[in-house]
Structure 1
Amino acid sequence: MNYRFVTRGFDSSPAIEHYLEKRLEKVDRVLTDEEVISAEIKAEKDAVNYVLKANLNLKGNTIIVQEKDPDIYAAIDRLCDALEKRVKKLKSSMRDRGRTTSQREVVSQHSEDILEVESEESLEIAETKRIPLNIMSLEEALLQFKTMNRQFFVFRNSETNELNLLYLKKDGKVGLIEFVD
């Protein structure tokens, strides 16, 4: 599989790129080229650590993994291990989903349960990401939400064609917000 490797804050060497390719072979064994739309690895050097971020766009799913370490090789090891684990978990969940029908644990809640902000001055945008808005069923969105290990997930519901937001509540349950025109 072809990975796009981008660095910022330092220059990559052929040795680093070769090591990364070698470590990603474990992920390549789990995925096929037909399943992958794009794969990108970004590496940045901050004051102390190397921050590596992998973004795999698969057909119907996105996997994002980030790892930090002062040693670039250790960061690559941790990133590749975490990426392989996520891919295997996603593939296992997709296989299991075909065998059984999962129960809907999604509860519609009011938006005031989402976020309590102490002061407006503390809010600022730290990062901006552009991701495709996927059209999927609620069941597929739940699966994606669980594999991404994030606080929220936005998608277009294939049954209603409306925007929906899945979010992780403080009690560990999943909430659903359905946006209505």
Structure 2
Amino acid sequence: MAQLKLNLIGDGIDLTGAIKNTLEEKLSKLEKYLGDDERREVFADVIVRKEKYRSSVEVVIYNVFDHTLRIKKETDDLYTAVDYVVDAAEKQLRRLKDKVKSASKKEAQKHKKQITLVEEEVVEKPIEIIEVEPELYKPISVEDAVMKLLGSNREFVVFCNVETGNAAVVYKRKDGNIGLIQMPSCR
């Protein structure tokens, strides 16, 4: 768990041992939200101000998941301000930690999907080329070729056109019509 290093600053108030102990004790609860990296140190400036009848506590936490958090509360009682600041800091740190966790989970899932896709590409069955003998033996008319196409579950028919003597193709178009491709003479 990352460790929180505190820098206690008193502005208009002398920080007694009781105040320092209270701040250190309450702010140590925040360490559980700082991450699991024990080598990383997180620094926090704690500024305690006293002006007449008002007390304020400001906490600035640096280097928390590459963010800086600033929380400031002002009340009549110093210890109440400390409680408010600790609660607000805990809420912000929890939210930030959850955000970082969910972002890392999304990144891991994205990486996992990429690996899965690569595995699927490797496992794919190779494409086989199956030779089909065209029906060019006896020339037929375009109308007969269309009837042959409509009478089968094929997508195209290659035939020898009786009118031109050249190869031709009739095929089913996506718009529901029939297409005709006339081949030029190969001779």
Match of 1:176 in 2: none
Match of 1:7 in 2: 10
1:94 pairs with one of 85, 90, 100: 100
Deviation at 1:38, TM superposition (A): 2.1
**Scaled by the length of structure 2, what TM-score is found?**
0.50
Please say if 1:85 is aligned against 2:88: no
2:54 pairs with one of 49, 54, 67: 49
1:109-140 Cα shifts (integer Å, max 9, x gaps): xxxxxxxxxxxxxxxxxxxxxxxxxxxxxxxx
Deviation at 1:47, TM superposition (A): 3.0
Report 1 or 2 for greater relative contact order, CA contacts < 8 Å, sequence distance ≥ 6: 1
Distance 1:62 1:34 in 2: 18
Distance 1:63 1:50 in 2: 20
Q: Secondary structure at the match of 2:5?
A: coil
Structure 2: stretches of 5+ with no match in the other structure: 108-187
Deviation at 1:27, TM superposition (A): 0.4
Letter in 2 for 1:25: S
Letter in 2 for 1:56: I
Letter in 2 for 1:12: L
Measured at CA, do residues 34 and 48 of structure 1 come closer, stay the same or move farther in structure 2, by a change above 3 Å?
A: farther
Deviation at 1:99, TM superposition (A): 3.1
Match of 1:69 in 2: 75
Deviation at 1:54, TM superposition (A): 0.5
Deviation at 1:39, TM superposition (A): 1.1
Distance 2:69 2:39 in 1: 16
The structure in which a higher percent of residues are helix is: 2
Measured at CA, do residues 47 and 54 of structure 1 come closer, stay the same or move farther in structure 2, by a change above 3 Å?
A: same
1:115-174 Cα shifts (integer Å, max 9, x gaps): xxxxxxxxxxxxxxxxxxxxxxxxxxxxxxxxxxxxxxxxxxxxxxxxxxxxxxxxxxxx
Distance 1:65 1:35 in 2: 22
Distance 1:51 1:34 in 2: 32
Q: Secondary structure at the match of 1:3?
A: strand
Distance 1:22 1:99 in 2: 33
Distance 2:95 2:40 in 1: 15
Structure 1: stretches of 5+ with no match in the other structure: 102-181
Deviation at 1:40, TM superposition (A): 0.8
Match of 2:19 in 1: 16
1:54-108 Cα shifts (integer Å, max 9, x gaps): 111115210111111111111111111111111111110111122348xxxxxxx
RMSD across aligned C-alpha pairs, in angstroms? 1.8
Distance 1:35 1:60 in 2: 11
Distance 1:41 1:34 in 2: 22
Distance 1:37 1:67 in 2: 21
* Aligned counterparts, 1:74-153, within 5 A: 74-100=80-106
- Contact 1:36/1:57 (<8 A) preserved: no
Percent same amino acid at aligned positions? 22
**Scaled by the length of structure 1, what TM-score is found?**
0.51
- Contact 2:7/2:44 (<8 A) preserved: yes
